[in-house]
Amino acid sequence: MAPLSLLTRRLSLLDRWLYGELLGPLLFGVAIFSLLLVTGDALFDLVRKVVERGLPIGPALQVLVLQLPSLVVYAFPMAMLLGTLLTYSKLSSGNELIALRSVGVPTRRYVLPAMVLGLFFSVASFMVSDLVVPRSNHSSFVVLQTALGRSIPKSSGEHIIYPHLARIPKADGGSYHGLAQLFYAREAVDGHMKDITVLDMSRPGMLQVVQAREAYFDEEQGSLLFLDGTTTSLADGGGSQSQIRFEEQFYPIGDTPLRLAEIPTDAANMTVAQIRMSRTLLEQTGNLRQARKLSVRLQEKFSVPLSCVVFALVGSSIGAQSVGNARSRGKGFGISLIIIFGYYLLSFVFSSFGVQGILPPYLSAWAPVAIGLTAGLVLLRRSSR
């Protein structure tokens, strides 16, 4: 309590007053938007599982609690917009802001506490997104699958495709860098892959097709061990063909296919470090489209939380303009929904451009933030007149 008391004494009377006015509407915004997101995203799905699949109430409530952090990340920016809009509308309609201006307090000065809170919420949102959400989402999945009586693989993936690039010898003694093997597995569960097919083009004038029922990585040999399969050799032009059956066969392709299978399908379930490692692996295997998608998601890990600052600036600037016009919570909520819808629609469009390669990842993730801040500064300038 001592550091908090010291901080409170260092704050000016104006700051303490404004922070006190902002706190109530912000908490109201967090509560109302969290409730809306829980109701729309998680609650109905859990109720359906309780009724149709016999999910017990206890695990269902536990799953609901574990899913809250992922929803709070989106509730924070919305709460900042609603809280600042309601607070500054109330102060403006009550002529408190006019009184501040009359004694020489500029608009940017009494908007500053909202920006500080927006920055605080941005940092909190990033920390929750990076440190809490991946673990809570995984725990939620484990609890749900256990309650439904399903097995929980440590790692799993489907339709793993790995193009292995390497130096390929030529018939004249030279070599070139190209596609040496194309690996495919129907699924991978806990380190075991099933229904494997490999097209081996590493030998000049010959194509080998290796098919196996199952495979796993042997750490001692540093290679994949294929089980129960065949190796078919085809000469260029289909002139000759041979087929050999095997029960066990080592294949020197490393553990990269298994590492690809362990990459989560949703970047929201990954930390920043995991996204960077997965992106590097995808770039090394030539999967540039998925690597580009992860690059966009990596930038969004930072830009999405910063929308708290954007909404704090926009909400306080709009609220400060409503001089003599009291704005109810219902009206403020409606305006907030319109702004939120427009901002996230803009973010979705730019994110799609980044994933498709139309825009660089940095630009696609940060352009909505830049546009939002620019709009907020324009509104702030208008409210200063």
Q: List 320's β-bridge partners, or say none.
A: none
Q: Does 271 fall in a domain?
A: no
Q: Are residues 160 and 89 in the same domain?
A: no
Point out the domain boundary residue: 195, 230, 260.
260
Q: Determine how β-strand 156-169 pairs with β-strand 175-189.
A: antiparallel
Q: Does 278 fall in a domain?
A: no
Q: Are residues 136 and 214 in the same domain?
A: no
Q: Are residues 171 and 124 in the same domain?
A: no
Q: Are residues 177 and 252 in the same domain?
A: yes
Give pLDDT, residue 299.
Answer: 94
Q: Give the count of domains, the chain.
A: 2
Residues sharing a CB contact under 8 Å with residue 334, sequence separation 6 or more, in sequence order: none
Q: Are residues 29 and 141 in the same domain?
A: yes
Q: Are residues 83 and 170 in the same domain?
A: no
What residue numbers bound the domain in which 329 lies?
12-149+299-383
Q: Does 274 fall in a domain?
A: no
Q: Are residues 192 and 136 in the same domain?
A: no
pTM equals 0.76
Q: Does 213 fall in a domain?
A: yes
- Token pair for 286: 């030539």
Q: Are residues 143 and 166 in the same domain?
A: no
Q: List 113's β-bridge partners, or say none.
A: none
- Token pair for 249: 């066969």
- C-alpha closest to that of 208 among 223, 197, 217, 222: 197
Give pairs for 210-213: CB < 8 Å, separation 24+.
210/249, 210/251, 212/249
- C-alpha closest to that of 294 among 272, 277, 279: 279
Give pLDDT, residue 119.
Answer: 95
Q: Does 2 fall in a domain?
A: no
- Token pair for 182: 């194309």
- Token pair for 248: 């066990």
Q: Does 269 fall in a domain?
A: no
Residue 16 to residue 13: CA distance in whole angstroms: 5
Residue 85 to residue 340: CA distance in whole angstroms: 13
Name the residue type at position 120: F
Residue 23 to residue 213: CA distance in whole angstroms: 61
3-state secondary structure (DSSP) of residue 204: coil
Q: Does 280 fall in a domain?
A: no
3-state secondary structure (DSSP) of residue 189: strand
Q: Are residues 18 and 105 in the same domain?
A: yes
CA distances, 320 to each of 86, 90, 121, 283 (Å):
10, 9, 21, 49
Q: Are residues 17 and 145 in the same domain?
A: yes
Give pLDDT, residue 106.
Answer: 80
Q: Are residues 256 and 205 in the same domain?
A: yes
Point out the domain boundary residue: 241, 260, 279.
260
Q: Does 292 fall in a domain?
A: no
Q: Are residues 56 and 23 in the same domain?
A: yes
Q: What is the pLDDT along the chain (385 residues), one digit of tens a residue?
A: 445 454 455 567 888 888 988 998 999 889 888 888 888 767 888 888 888 888 888 888 898 889 889 888 989 999 999 899 888 888 877 777 777 777 777 878 888 899 999 999 999 999 999 999 988 988 888 888 888 777 666 556 777 888 877 778 776 777 777 788 888 888 888 778 899 898 888 877 788 888 999 988 888 878 888 999 998 888 766 556 788 899 888 888 877 887 777 777 778 888 898 889 888 888 877 778 888 999 999 999 999 999 999 999 998 888 887 655 555 555 666 777 888 899 999 999 999 999 999 999 999 999 999 999 999 898 888 877 6
